[in-house]
Structure formats: C-alpha cells, structure tokens
Structure 1
Amino acid sequence: MEIEYNSTNWFIVGILGLLMWTYYFFPVLKKKELFLPSNARKGFRNFLRLIACLIGIIGWGYISYSLTLPRIPMGKSESKIEVNDIFMVVDCSRSMLADDFQPNRFEVAKSKIIEFVEMRPKDRVGIITFAERIFTVLPLTIDIELVKRVVPDINMGILGNGTNIGDALGLAVARLTISPTKNKIVILLTDGVSNVGNLTPIQAAEEAKSQGIKVYTIGIGTDQHARIPSFRPGQFQNIPGGSIDIETLTEISKMTGGKFYYAKDNSSLAEVLSDINNLERTEIKKAGIVLYKELYYKYLVIGFIFLLFSEISRRFVIRDPV
C-alpha cells in the first residue's frame, strides 16, 4: 500500500528547525579549519564533530519527515443499514369513522401507522391524507419522534367529501420521484372507491411503475354493515359493508410490484403492516471512516535517538563547550 501524508505543510517547519539547530548548536560548521586541507585541520576531534553534526542532521531529517504524518490506509470500516423512503397515503373520508374497528377505522389506522414507523427507525417517512382534496401532513422525514407527535393530531372533516385515491397516490409518487433514495415505497390505506380527482388510480399507478416505486395497497373494513356518527350529536347512520374497490387496489399493487392486503379488524391491520415491514428490508453498505496505520511516531522516535546520540557525542566525547 502507498504511504499517504496528512500534513505536508509541517515538513517545512521541520526543515526550518533543522537549519536553526545546525546554525546555533553546531558552531563547528562555521569553523574554517573543517574545510581546509586535511593537514591543516585540528586532528581527529574535528572529524568527530563533523560526524556528530551529520548524525544530528539525519535525526532532524527523520523528525521533519514525521511531521508530515505519514500513514498507510488499511481499508474502510463499513456498516450495513436499511434505508427506504416511504409515503403513507391515508384515507380520511367520513366512512373511516366506521365503528367496525374499535374505536373506529381512522383511529386504528393512526395507531398502527405509529407502530409501523417505530419499526423503521432508519427510513424517511412522509404522510399524505386525502378525501375529496389532498393534504401533505408531513414531507419525508427521518425524525420518527416528530411523526409520533403529529399523527395522533390528524383530524378529519377538512378535506371535503369524496375519495380521491388517484390524486393522492399521484402526489406521493411525485414527491418520491425527486427523492435521491433508491428504494421508494407507497403504502395506500383506504376503505372506499375513488370517485373524484383528476387522475384515476390506475394512471397514478402507471406513473409509480415508470418511476420504480412500489405501492402496497390496504383495504380496511369488513363485509358487514357498520355505523358512522351522524351530523346530529349522539346519532349514527349505517353504511354498507364491502365497499372497498378490491379490483383496483389489487391492480395497483400488481402493476408496481407491491401487494394488496385486506384488513378486516385491528389485529389484521397490525399483521398487514408487520408483513410489509418484513418484506421491505433493503440492506445497503454505508462507507465508514478509512482506517490507517500511523507511521509518524516511528520516525519521530528514530529522529530523537539520532539527535540524542549527536548531542551526547558533542558534549561528552568531543567535549565541545555547551
């Protein structure tokens, strides 16, 4: 493996230190006798001075090199994480107040959405509600605690009458299309038949298919008659059972590579979302930090040993004045 240098600028500091050390601590280099013919030199001591000086220079060379922080890359640490972008598209038309789920379909749906989100702590989750009109409750977010705070406060009755599945699905697809995440999912939960909107559910599904977005569809409700609160306090009105457009929901999921589920009670809805959670486990590798073997300390130690040997030689062998 090739050596990398983490701080080449410090090499200049090392060179400056070498020059200063040579000039101030080895005046022997300034002695003219050293550079005269050998018969004019002061014998063996001058030769030892020169050797000690060269050893010191080598020591400073090692120290200067260590200041570049040389190191060898040993590979990267990697971790596997599961990442998806998920839009929950939830029907909030009046029929979702039906009491065949306790306390009603809408409240159960909200509680199960929170449970589902808690199972996906690393995913980004967004929420769209729809009746006649569409509303983005939350854009894609990784803040699971925010989702858990917002979902219980979602109310009904502000988006008009009707069931606009096509436009709601289309909006989720549009928002996911601009997301950089590779794996994109829509979970569509409804108890009715699309009867308003600019897009049909199939048209929205075709766009989802073209963008590689999976759509899981969930029909919520029973085959039996159920009650919803009337506009008169304390009174109820009956709604027919089996009003889910199973054929269209099945076609949407089939076209996009998802799956259709029919949730007929609280527990089955929980099982449905748990099944989707198990299906959509996408592992990706997340590059971690590069691992290095640091070499600088070896050169630093060698340099100090050379300097120490040079200084001991100068003071105690050559006996130059301090």
Structure 2
Amino acid sequence: MLTFDFLWAFALLPLPLILWWLLPPFKETTPALRVPFFEQVAQKLNLEPSSGAVVQRSNWAQKILGPLSWILVVTALASPQWLEPPLVRTQSSRDLMLAIDISQSMEARDFKGPDGKPIDRLTAVKSVVRQFIARREGDRIGLIVFGQGAFPQSPLTLDHATVLLLLDEVRIGMAGPQTAIGDAIGVAVKMTEGSTAQDKVLVLLTDGNDTASRVPPDDAARVAADHRVVIHTIGIGDPNASGESKVDLKALERFSGETQGQSFRAEDRRGLERIYGTIDQITPIKVQRTEFRPKIALYYWPLGAAAVLLAIYHAIAMLAALIRRPSAPPAAVSQ
C-alpha cells in the first residue's frame, strides 16, 4: 500500500502559480550606444531592427516539463513509502510445563484408544497431550519427563512442532523404573528461573507415588509456590494398589493446593481429555501480539524522474542550438 509521510507537502503544488501572480516580471537593463545613422547601418547589414525589450518565450516542451517536474519534486518531498504486509510478533505471557510420568507402571494397558482397543497409559497420555498442545497457541511450552530421575525433554519454546516431535520420542522406562515427583517439580522451577512470563503453570501427571526424589515433594511444592509456579496435578493410577503402582491422590492434592492449583483424577482416556479441557478453561491463553509493517522509501523515484527529464530536455536544447548555429564565412583568398 502506498502512503505519504508528509501529505501536507502537496499543498505546495500551486506555489509557482501564486508566485507568478504576486511577483512582478523580471526586468534587466543594459547600457546601449546611440548612433544617428542606425538605420543606415541596419540597411547595409540587411538587418531588421526590433523593439528594445526582449521577452523570452517558452516553447511547448517547457510548458509541459516545468509543471511536471514541479509535481515530481513535491511528490518526493511528501516522502512516498510502500507499506509491506504486516509482520506479527507473538509474545507469550505464560510458561506452561507438562511433566509426564514415564515410570515402568505406565505400561499398564488399562486405557482404551479411539478404536476401543486397549492401549498403555503413556500412549493414551501422549494422544491427549498432543491435542492439548495444539490448543495452546501463544504459550511457551516445555516438556518434562520423570521416572527415577527427572529431566527436561524440551525447553520452554513457542515452537510447538518441536515439542510434539520430542513428545513422540518419549519411551516408558527411559528415566528409570521408579517415580521422582519432587525432582520433576524442582526441574520445572529451574526451567522458569529468569522468565518474565506473567503466569507459570506446571501440569504434572503421574500414576504412582513418590519413591525416588532427592527433594521431598512437599518441599518442592513450597519452593514452586515461592517462585509463583502454579501446579495442577493429574493422577491416573489406582489409589488402592500397592507399592510403585499406588497413586497418592492426597499427596497430589497437597502439592496443587500449596500453589493455588487444582488436582484431578483420570480413570480413562475420556476422563483425561475432560481434565485437560478443564485446565484449558482455568488457564486461558494469554498472548501479546505486536505488529510491524516494513516501509520501503520511494522518494528517489519521482526525484530521479524529474532530474532525468530535465537533463534530457537540456541535452536536446543544446544539440538543437549547435545545429542551428550559422557557419563562419570562408576567408578571402588574395590573388
């Protein structure tokens, strides 16, 4: 789109007409030699005398090029610019971390896929998490996996395609057979250090209880609260089981309650989808978008056109003057 930075410059277009109307004509006087026999001299030289005043008359080219050049100069003065399509910059105002339990107990095939066939817990979690990530446009998302240890699978990033790719690479048992919930919370706190995001949210999903953390989960939750990290917990295990497979729902409620978060329990894939839908509602997307439209300066086009037109005119006028110049008479030859 064509725009002008100084649109007021076009008010200067009638300026030459105003000056021509207001200012008196230019007059120039030169000394002259008066002789009483001027007419005789003119007759001898075959010259026809004219009036003393000389008025320069403009030709058709000047009448066209003058106004056209002035219009081009004023257009250049108005600073024409071409606006490129806007570039939108999206700045996240939330850090969203997903901590997924990949301990050995996630191999249990007590979930059903879309086709009704049994699938293991991790496969069900991955399919639901993919849909959740797809809806979180504008959030910086990080992925944490934990078992006996906890480590970031993906840093906080707006590149959700990379997060999904790294999610697909997650395998059961790659972090050890046990469960370290406290360490996973600690990794989330570490990942958000130095972040300027308004909201920091951790969605922690586990099917067991803490058996391997170096940092007690309750202590880790208090540290998270101090760092303004809200924890939402999801338990998908059996609270009546024993050992590693028993999910401690009361402990998960404590962790989330410490940080003003919420705790959920999912018994099947549909329940898991509803939980992530609820989290979508309680943590609405917050993004800041700024637009920038690149500008391309075009003032040199009309200015250059005016210069070229005037240069061509003067070159043609000079050539025409050289052609019209009379040749010198031949010198007399003595006998």
Q: Is the 8 A contact 1:100 1:221 kept in 2?
A: no
Change (3 A) 1:284 1:156: closer
In structure 2, do the counterparts of structure 1 residues 100 and 224 end up closer, same or farther at CA, with 3 Å as the change threshold?
farther
Q: How far off is 1:291 after superposition? A: 9.4
Equivalent position amino acid for 1:99 in 2: R
Return 54-63 or 207-216, whichever deviates more. 54-63
Counterpart in the other structure of 1:87: 97
What is the rounded CA distance, in whole Å, between the counterparts of 1:251 and 1:42 in structure 2?
Answer: 110
Aligned residues: 266
Distance in 2, matches of 1:55 and 1:37, equals: 30
Which one of 135, 143, 155 corresponds to residue 119 of structure 1?
135
Of 285, 288, 294, 2:291 maps to: 288
Q: What letter matches 2:273 in structure 1?
A: A
Which of the residues 219, 243, 247 maps onto 1:244?
247
Q: CA deviation at 1:267?
A: 0.9
Which of 259-268 and 80-89 deviates more?
A: 80-89
Contact kept in structure 1, 2:200 and 2:229, CA below 8 Å:
yes
In the other structure, the counterpart of 1:153 is 169
CA contact (8 A) 1:224 1:240 kept: no
For structure 2, the 5+ residue unaligned runs are: 7-25, 33-50, 112-117, 324-335
Confirm or deny: 8 A CA contact 1:85 1:184 kept in the other structure.
yes
Does the residue aligned with 2:55 lie in a helix, a strand or coil?
helix
| Structure having greater relative contact order (Cα 8 Å, sep ≥ 6) | 1
Give the alignment partner of residue 67 of structure 1, picking from 66, 76, 85: 76
- Residue of structure 1 in register with 2:272 after alignment: 269
Residue 108 of structure 1 corresponds to: 124
Asked if 1 retains the 8 angstrom alpha-carbon contact of 2:91 and 2:289, the reply is no
* Cα deviation, residue 273, structure 1: 0.8
Task: Give runs of aligned pairs for residues 194-205 of structure 1, distance below 5 A.
Answer: 194-205=210-221
SS of the residue 1:108 aligns to: helix
**Correspondence for 2:29:** 37
Distance 1:291 1:146, change over 3 A: closer
Residue 186 of structure 1 pairs with residue 198 of structure 2: no
Match of 1:168 in 2: 184
What is the one-letter code of the residue matched to 2:110?
A: D
- The amino acid of 1:131's aligned partner reads G
Does residue 99 in structure 1 map to residue 129 in structure 2?
Answer: no
Secondary structure of residue in 2 paired with 1:221: coil
Preserved CA contact (<8 Å) 2:96 2:141:
yes
CA gap 1:55/1:104 in 2 versus in 1, 3 angstroms: closer
The one-letter amino acid paired with 1:248 is A
Cα drift, residue 249 of structure 1: 1.9
Two-structure CA RMSD over aligned residues (Å): 4.5
SS at match of 2:178: coil
Letter in 2 for 1:149: L
Contact 2:138–2:286 (CA under 8 A) maintained in structure 1: no
Give the Cα separation in 2 of the matches to 1:89 and 1:185.
Answer: 11
Q: C-alpha separation between the residues in 1 aligned to 2:208 and 2:284?
A: 29
1-structure distance, mates of 2:178, 2:269: 24
Distance 1:295 1:158 in 2: 60
Q: Aligned to 2:119, what secondary structure does the other structure show?
A: coil
The alpha carbon displacement at 1:44 in A equals 5.1
Indicate how the Cα distance of structure 1 residues 196 and 241 shifts in structure 2: closer, same or farther if over 3 A, else same.
Answer: closer
Q: Deviations over 1:259-306 (max 9, x none)?
A: 2111111110111011112322233341213599x9969x959x97xx
- Distance, in Å, in 2 between the alignment partners of 1:159 and 1:125 is 20
CA distance in 2, matches of 1:161, 1:103: 19
Which 5+ residue runs of structure 1 have no aligned equivalent? 6-33, 226-238
Determine if contact 2:97/2:144 at 8 Å carries over to the other structure.
yes
Specify the SS of the correspondent of 2:192: helix
| Cα distance change of structure 1 residues 81 and 163 upon mapping to structure 2, 3 Å threshold | same
Task: Render the CA deviation track for 1:60-80: whole Å, top value 9, x for unaligned.
Answer: 5653453355269x9xx8979
SS of aligned partner of 2:228: coil
